[in-house]
Copies of this chain bind each other. A is one copy, B any other.
Amino acid sequence: MRILVANVNTTGSMTAAIAESARSAASPGTEIVGITPRFGADSCEGNFESYLAAIAVMDAITRYEGHYDAVIQAGYGEHGREGLQELLDVPVVDITEAAASTAMYLGHKYSVVTTLDRTVPLIEDRLKLAGLDSRCASVRASGLGVLELESDPERAVEAIVAQSRAAVEQDRAEVICLGCGGMAELEERVSAATGVPIVDGVRAAVTIAEGLVRMGLTTSKVRTYAPPRPKAVTGWPIAD
């Protein structure tokens, strides 16, 4: 089985880290292929960048020439999953939703800890649309941007640990979803500090995608995610 894991930003090192994380959860025999969009922001931290990423991911996936069995959209709180579902016949799993639906098997309430304060409403909105918000205790921000996770990991970990602890103690979360990825060390540290299970969206998405493929299930095409009607579309596919 081959699963495409699409980064939503153009930073190749993040694609590599995401793919690495995906591989750590994959079954034997599952091949993970990391996909980096050809255009867009080097980190996605808001609606404009996220909308651009939505199109860039659709562009990158539809350009992929090999066979694949499922697609993971590996951006936390990002737009676009519904468009992929229309364009593709294979299952599409968004990591925001994968983390949430997984966390709900582990505790009564979960919280999400993410990077910047400004992305909190995007995550809240995605969870609301997905109907996965009623057991969400809180979405909290560490205050550090996506790329700072890479440049100053120690400070990032500390800020995330602090917010995770507050989520458990004040918001009554029993599980933490990490809304920011790429650091193996992070899960361990947050788990040790809080004593609760830590869910990584990318890894959760891999297990869900594998499960769907194994059951032979894919996106329903009867209404919302039917293929686009045949029509004139200017500027698509997007030129090189």
Residues of A within 8 A of B (CB): 10, 25, 27, 38-43, 45-52, 54-56, 58, 79-80, 82-83, 85-87, 91-93, 97, 101-102, 104-109, 117-118, 120-122, 125, 128-135, 145, 168, 172, 174-175, 194-197, 199-200, 203-204, 207-208, 210-212, 214-215, 217-226, 228-229, 231-236, 239
**Alpha-carbon distance between A134 and B105 when the two chains are bound, in angstroms:** 17
> Are A79 and B51 CB-contacts (below 8 A) given A42-B231, A145-B229?
yes
Q: Is the CB of A107 within 8 A of B220?
A: yes
> Are A211 and B207 CB-contacts (below 8 A) given A47-B86, A91-B106, A108-B225?
yes
Interface centre among A40, A91, A105 (most CB of B within 10 A): A105
Q: Is the CB of A203 within 8 A of B215?
A: yes
Interface centre among A50, A54, A108, A117 (most CB of B within 10 A): A108
Residues of chain B within 8 A (CB-CB) of A214 are 25, 27, 207
Q: List 11 A-B residue pairs with CB atoms under 8 Å apart, sorted by A's residue number.
A: A25-B214, A40-B236, A49-B228, A50-B83, A51-B55, A52-B233, A108-B121, A108-B225, A118-B224, A121-B224, A196-B220
